Structure 1
Amino acid sequence: MARTFEKRRIGQTDLEITTLGLGCASLAGIFSAVPADQARATVSHALDAGLTYVDTAPQYGLGRSEHLVGDVMRTRRHAAVLSTKVGRLLRPVSPASQDKGAWVDPLPFDQVYDYSYDGVMRSFEDSLQRLGVHRVDILYVHDIGAATHGAEANKPLWAQLASGGYRALRELRDSGVIGAIGLGVNEWQVLMDAMALGDWDVFLLAGRYTLLEQTALAPFMTTAAARGSSVVVGGPFNSGILVGGTTFNYAKAPEDIVARVKAIEAVCRQFDVPLPAAALQFPLTHPVVCNVLPGPRSPAELDGILDWWDIDIPVELWTSLAARGLLVPGTPIPGGTA
């Protein structure tokens, strides 16, 4: 049954999306397998529930996610704003020699980084073919930055984006082929460099503006607000630590992070609010955030997320977290700032 979700506008574009979306990395089988029928059922379930934003990428399952998402979106393209990413081209390879990374049962391709003008255009066209649709709404530059490539290796890749890739994105957007452009990364620092390069509509930032971590608050979030750009927050559970897991940033959580999570959870218990519910809803207290993007692996996991989404969180929970120094000073919360 479809819920009624608040919608927020993406930057200064005409696109509007629900404040809760569907991230489709997990559906492609990161760390553990997800059956294809289950993945497709999860996308369908999200659309049935009223979510109007679906995000995928060539990297996810090395093409697998785009194929599975496309299987659903081809018959329901009107139902959602769809985003994918550029920066990786997929080249066929024997499964025996393939670098599968963390993907279980990926498609038989290796990824080649290419942020050039031609690379962006080729990536976009390849994604349309894998998805089987004539249009996507948002294109993100995927995983450019020192966190992915290392500082030295990133320099020539950034030069590709600066000298041609950004121009390709602008041409696609300005001609109306796509509706918005942005970057999708795990580090906020490179987004400051991007804003010096040109104008962007939306940034998908994973893990850096969450209930546990607000390192992106300033200068990034404040600058994005001043520039009229929106932020989609991916990884609201910090790769599992905020839903009862033991991993933070895809590694075992250090003791200081575990202690901080316990302190936040203690405040949540005072107000009878599950920690994951607070983690899911927290990013939207910042006005520049237009969407929170979790990545459920099944319709049942999505139902659990929707249950957390429906929980009414009292303002006093946020102010209590702020009073205990568990939010960075200046963090927007209902009724003021931390």
Structure 2
Amino acid sequence: MPHFEKRQVGRTKLQVTVLGLGTATMGASRIPISRQDGEAIVQAAWDAGVRYVDTAPFYGVGAAEHRVGDALREKDRNAWVLSTKVGRLLKPKTDTTPSPDGRLSPMPFQVVYDYSYDGIMRSVDDSYQRLGLARIDILYVHDIGVYQHGEAENAKHMKVLRESGYKALDELRRTGTVSAIGIGVNEKQVLLDAMEFGDWDAFLLAGRYTLLEQAPLDDLLPRCQERGTSIVVGGPLNSGILAGRDTWNYAKAPADVAARVEKIARVCEAHNVPLPAAALQFPLAHPVVCSVIPGPRSAAEFNENLPLFSMPIPASLWSDLRNEGLLHPNAPVPAA
């Protein structure tokens, strides 16, 4: 079994493996994945030495939490770290109207956003029941921000989180119900805003600090370093475009993004390095990043990608990317 380095989460006593498991895909909201196949993904990650698993009520409207809990329940509880999320409550769905965003619903529920004290406490209790587990280690506020809600609606949600919901998070941490609190989003500005009113242990930032995008180096990552807040990098393959697919930000990539990826791919090819290998290893060079959590579609895909995580990458690849303007000037890179 491979040995993965463990890194501390913020200023907590938690340590996570640098390779974690994201479970958005195995919730089967975008592609059909059976319960057995979902649990097999968790088992493949476990067999490989992964000891950090992230999930959420939203993934498969409850399905991912069920599958994660079933896969982890008989394993040594002191050996793994689990994160889930709050901000959405699941209510019974009594009609058969398809989701407006095309998502599948493996379980008969619909989402209601609630970032309040009572909503967060209810969400945690509901997650315990779906997981069938007695402890959650990290709790992230899920998908708050302009990207998700629009400017006007998000202003309302942020007010509720600031004045009500954060009290619940702080209480859950203070009483030891969870060991760490944070926010899990696809945008950086909401994290900068949240740092003005909260003491956060970790942020799960999906798709914004990757081999393709490094804008957080200008503001968010230095602030996190000052505050002792860790970053978990979700979506290190940018929704698949860094793995040879044409999707970015959960949709078909625009021409400028596809062109930039093509340039990065050519540099990788010149060094005989698969693009996904460089993409998986790059974020961990930054000292505030404690884990990257790709979301494989199957156990086979996880096992196929596993060697990429430890593949040797020459220093010249990173310098060539920087010389061609494809890496931020201040981006730390992995040691050769």
Q: Same fold (TM over 0.5)?
A: yes
Aligned residues between the structures = 335
- CA distance, structure 1, for counterparts of residue 135 and residue 36 of structure 2: 24
- CA distance, structure 1, for counterparts of residue 199 and residue 61 of structure 2: 29
- CA distance, structure 1, for counterparts of residue 46 and residue 305 of structure 2: 14
Residue in 2 aligned with 1:47? 46
Distance 1:128 1:43, change over 3 A: same
Residue in 2 aligned with 1:116? 116
Residue in 2 aligned with 1:63? 62
Residue in 1 aligned with 2:282? 282
1:103 to partner: Cα distance: 3.2
Distance 1:32 1:95, change over 3 A: farther
Residue in 2 aligned with 1:221? 221
Matched, 1:199 2:199: yes
- CA distance, structure 1, for counterparts of residue 207 and residue 163 of structure 2: 29
Residue in 2 aligned with 1:136? 136
Residue in 1 aligned with 2:31? 32
- CA distance, structure 2, for counterparts of residue 40 and residue 20 of structure 1: 18
1:32 to partner: Cα distance: 1.2
Partner letter of residue 121 of structure 1? M
Per-residue CA deviations over 1:235-267 (Å, capped at 9, x if unaligned) read 111111111111111121111111111111111
Partner letter of residue 72 of structure 2? M
- CA distance, structure 2, for counterparts of residue 101 and residue 83 of structure 1: 25
**Which residues of 2 match residues 12-31 of structure 1 at below 5 A?**
12-31=11-30
- CA distance, structure 2, for counterparts of residue 317 and residue 251 of structure 1: 29
Q: Find the residue that maps to 2:196 and give its secondary structure.
A: helix
Q: Find the residue that maps to 1:216 and give its secondary structure.
A: helix
Tell me the percent identity: 55
**Which residues of 2 match residues 232-247 of structure 1 at below 5 A?**
232-247=232-247
Partner letter of residue 204 of structure 2? L
Q: Find the residue that maps to 1:177 and give its secondary structure.
A: coil
Partner letter of residue 244 of structure 1? G
Kindly indicate whether the alpha-carbon contact (under 8 Å) linking 1:47 and 1:80 is maintained by their aligned counterparts in 2. Answer: no
**Which residues of 2 match residues 121-200 of structure 1 at below 5 A?**
121-200=121-200
TM-score by length of 2: 0.97
| Structure 2 stretches lacking a partner, 5+ long | none
Per-residue CA deviations over 1:272-323 (Å, capped at 9, x if unaligned) read 1000100111101111100001000211111122121121111221111111
Q: Find the residue that maps to 1:172 and give its secondary structure.
A: helix
- CA distance, structure 1, for counterparts of residue 163 and residue 187 of structure 2: 22
Of the structure 1 ranges 314-323 and 186-195, higher mean CA displacement relative to structure 2 is found in 314-323
Matched, 1:317 2:333: no
Partner letter of residue 211 of structure 1? L
Partner letter of residue 110 of structure 1? Q
1:98 to partner: Cα distance: 5.9
Matched, 1:7 2:6: yes
Partner letter of residue 61 of structure 1? G
- CA distance, structure 2, for counterparts of residue 95 and residue 127 of structure 1: 24
Kindly indicate whether the alpha-carbon contact (under 8 Å) linking 1:172 and 1:178 is maintained by their aligned counterparts in 2. Answer: yes
- CA distance, structure 1, for counterparts of residue 253 and residue 103 of structure 2: 21
1:101 to partner: Cα distance: 4.0
- CA distance, structure 2, for counterparts of residue 100 and residue 44 of structure 1: 33
1:334 to partner: Cα distance: 4.4
Distance 1:166 1:55, change over 3 A: same
Q: Find the residue that maps to 2:205 and give its secondary structure.
A: strand
